[in-house]
Amino acid sequence: MTGNLLLSGGLAAALAAMTICFVPKIPSARLVKICAATSTAFIVAASLLLWILIFENNFGVEYVATYSSTTLPTLYKISAFWAGQQGSFLLWLLIHAIAGAVLTYRRTSAASLGIFFLLQIVLTLLVLAKSPFAVNPAQVYEGVGLNPLLQDFWMAIHPPIIFVGYALLAVPFALSVGSLLTEAASRSWLESARRWTLLAWSFLGAGIFIGGYWAYKVLGWGGYWGWDPVENSSLVPWLLSAVLLHLINLAKKKSAVLSVAHVAAIFTYALVIYGTFLTRSGILGDFSVHSFAGSSIGTAIALANALVLIGGLTILLVKAKSLPQGKMYDTHGESAFIILLGCLLIIFIAAIVWVGMSMPLLSQAFGQAAAVDADFYIKSTAPLALTLALLIVYTFAKFWRAISFGGKISHGGFLLMLLAIVISAQGETVTQEFQPQTSLSIAGHEIIYEGQLFNEDERQKFYVYTVDGEVVKALTKLRGNGEDAAREPAIMKNFSGDVYIAPHAPKIDNVQELMLTKKLFAMDGEFGYVFEDAHIDYDDVGKPIQATASITITDGEISEVIHPLIVVTADGGSSRAIEVMSGKRRVRLTGISGDLNKARLEILPTLEKLSNMPITATVTTKPYIWLLWLSVTTICIGTLKSIRN
């Protein structure tokens, strides 16, 4: 397809750029710029093509059929680009290519550019191996659409921000390895690496924070962080990029630190690739709600990870004797020792998280795959985090004047974040059954469950609560057949913290199923039903679009004819419940036999009955949770200030 041809053009141009950089006989900065721009142009064109296919509802492309639909709002059609594995790799490649084009216009060594374009070649091959332009083997006329959980503004922007961080971390890696290949003892790469790492760290951190806020606001499991392996796969490189930042700053003053700065640059990007391998190989399929299904691309990512880690460390070992030697610090009281100690604590935390998230892979080698629970992370990292906080306080007290303004803001925000995590964890959690219009006192708050409200199209419903006199609503998005698709909690916010109400899915026991035979009378206990007829509508090529039944309902005095239908979708079919007999019944057509002789109906409770059903909900208080959102905002502001400086 055209998309794969465009990607192949980007691959060829990146290969040409890498060759020019590594072959001394043809050094040409202008030629490298042309090749980089050409590669970027091809990749941008491929990306635009995918968006065009999505907006044109071209379901002949499997990726479009899987992640988009004709009814998807514009914002989510945009985000459908990166909703799946193939599209997210293309997004990563797009950002990487743009960064590469920018690098060629800065003072970047040929060797570093060569390494960067080698990484671009690897990414392009991964995209081609799992192409978003693959033809759909099935002919469909409506797509599955975006997962309802992902149809949220914060989740729409979360992946691209994360992938900016991932892509930009390739720059300090390339600068580090390029420097080792040419002039190992040189520190000229450090300043450029500092700026790129700071930018990557800020994007990756912002992406992690946004993901946490989305989880808190949308998922309804009561928190913003669940120590899920996929969450951790972003956390580990973020922690190590913080280490890299501090080591780069220190290496500019202490030449002996240069070697560990190289190590940090290599491991940081290698762990980006490793996290990608874990989440996309299918290894975490049974242990994470975020993991992608297993596929053959896992092997390719593992090889890419080996290339980055083993290749980088091999070059470092070969050049080790050429690196500056000496003491990294002179006394335990100087700032260099404090920085190195802080980096060591962060490395220990990252190592613990790495072990935890890798446990399914590690345990699989010795038998059955298993995962650790949240207590493992909390109990093992909490003492280290406390020590790190005390170290930052000590550093503020002793070296306040030497710390930059941006550094003061971001490190102060980090201390506030740790404090907010501890304070917000002190809330109460109560699971309680709520009767409509009945007041309950929970954790010092008066809570009244008012009932359920349904949108007119019955694609959304709300569980309505009054908390201390303030009305809050928990949203549930519904599938076409009326089943729950995604639930969002009700959150009452005030200065002292949030009251967080996560309703459980109600158990509806009085759903009755009727199998109707054409022209025969059937009863549900109060009303009678006669299946009169049915027909199926087809498209121009003979594919069924929808099936419609004609059914007469009577209470013995009044009769009503209804025409429920089933709409054919990519994943089967969907049908809406309809009210009959002045709202005394709700019925839903769930099946019609191939010979059109039988129909299956569900007899559902009325909306009034649903609204007055008791509901079980988990109520959690989050003391001063706003301090957490303030702290992460403070960290971002401090980082932006540092970038500007």
The predicted-structure confidence for 502-553, as pLDDT tens digits, reads as follows: 998 777 666 788 888 888 888 887 888 899 898 888 876 677 778 888 988 9
Confidence of residue 27 (pLDDT cuts 50, 70, 90): low
Predicted local confidence at residue 291, as pLDDT: 47
Confidence of residue 391 (pLDDT cuts 50, 70, 90): very high
What residues does 486 pair with on adjacent strands? 477
**Angle at 36 (CA atoms; ends 30, 37), nearest 5 degrees:** 90
Predicted local confidence at residue 15, as pLDDT: 95
Mean pLDDT computed over 422-427: 92
Asked if residue 245 belongs to a domain, the reply is yes
Q: Look at 513 and 571; give whichever has higher pLDDT.
A: 513
State whether 264 and 326 are in the same domain. Answer: yes
Predicted local confidence at residue 590, as pLDDT: 83
* Cα 577 from chain centre: 33
- E strands present in 21-70: none
In order, the DSSP letters of 215-261 are IIIII-SS-S----HHHHHHHHHHHHHHHHHHHHHHHTT-GGGHHHH
* Separation CA 16–CA 408 (nearest Å): 45
For residue 612, give both structure tokens. Answer: 């007055």
Side chain identity at residue 174, one-letter code: A
State whether 231 and 281 are in the same domain. Answer: yes
Q: Domain count of the chain?
A: 4
State the average pLDDT for the chain. Answer: 88
pTM: 0.87
Predicted local confidence at residue 510, as pLDDT: 67
State whether 475 and 590 are in the same domain. Answer: no
Residue range(s) defining the domain that contains residue 596: 512-604
State whether 230 and 335 are in the same domain. Answer: yes
Mean pLDDT computed over 310-319: 94
Asked if residue 184 belongs to a domain, the reply is no
State whether 131 and 252 are in the same domain. Answer: no
* Cα 316 from chain centre: 34
State whether 51 and 128 are in the same domain. Answer: yes
Predicted local confidence at residue 26, as pLDDT: 61
State whether 433 and 377 are in the same domain. Answer: no
Mean pLDDT computed over 20-27: 77
Q: 384, 414, 449 — which closes off a domain?
A: 384
The answer to whether residue 241 scores a pLDDT higher than 70 is: yes
**pLDDT tens digits, one per residue of 77-130:** 999 999 888 999 999 999 999 999 999 988 888 999 999 999 999 999 999 998
Confidence of residue 295 (pLDDT cuts 50, 70, 90): low
Q: Is the dihedral of CA 177, 179, 184, 189 positive or negative?
A: negative
Rounded alpha-carbon distances, angstroms, from residue 58 to 47, 63, 135, 136, 543: 15, 10, 10, 10, 17
Overall size of the chain counted in residues: 645
What residues does 515 pair with on adjacent strands? 600
3-state helix, strand, coil in the chain (%, to 5): 55, 20, 25
Asked if residue 373 belongs to a domain, the reply is yes
Highest mean pLDDT among 2-16, 26-40, 586-600: 2-16
Confidence of residue 286 (pLDDT cuts 50, 70, 90): low
Asked if residue 187 belongs to a domain, the reply is no
State whether 23 and 81 are in the same domain. Answer: yes
State whether 483 and 555 are in the same domain. Answer: no
State whether 52 and 1 are in the same domain. Answer: yes
Least confident of 287-296, 386-395, 438-447, 512-521: 287-296
Least confident of 46-55, 136-145, 611-620: 136-145
Asked if residue 115 belongs to a domain, the reply is yes
Predicted local confidence at residue 313, as pLDDT: 94
The answer to whether residue 290 scores a pLDDT higher than 70 is: no
* Separation CA 253–CA 336 (nearest Å): 9
- Name the residue among 405, 415, 256 with its Cα closest to residue 340: 256
State whether 615 and 475 are in the same domain. Answer: yes
Q: 117, 135, 151 — which closes off a domain?
A: 151
Confidence of residue 584 (pLDDT cuts 50, 70, 90): confident
Predicted local confidence at residue 338, as pLDDT: 93
Asked if residue 380 belongs to a domain, the reply is yes
- Residue 565, classed as helix, strand or coil, is strand
Asked if residue 393 belongs to a domain, the reply is no
- Does residue 36 contact residue 101 with C-beta atoms inside 8 Å? yes
Asked if residue 169 belongs to a domain, the reply is no
- Name the residue among 254, 253, 252, 292 with its Cα closest to residue 276: 292
Mean pLDDT computed over 229-235: 88
**pLDDT tens digits, one per residue of 460-491:** 888 999 999 999 999 888 776 667 777 889 99
State whether 75 and 49 are in the same domain. Answer: yes
Predicted local confidence at residue 368, as pLDDT: 72
The answer to whether residue 232 scores a pLDDT higher than 70 is: yes
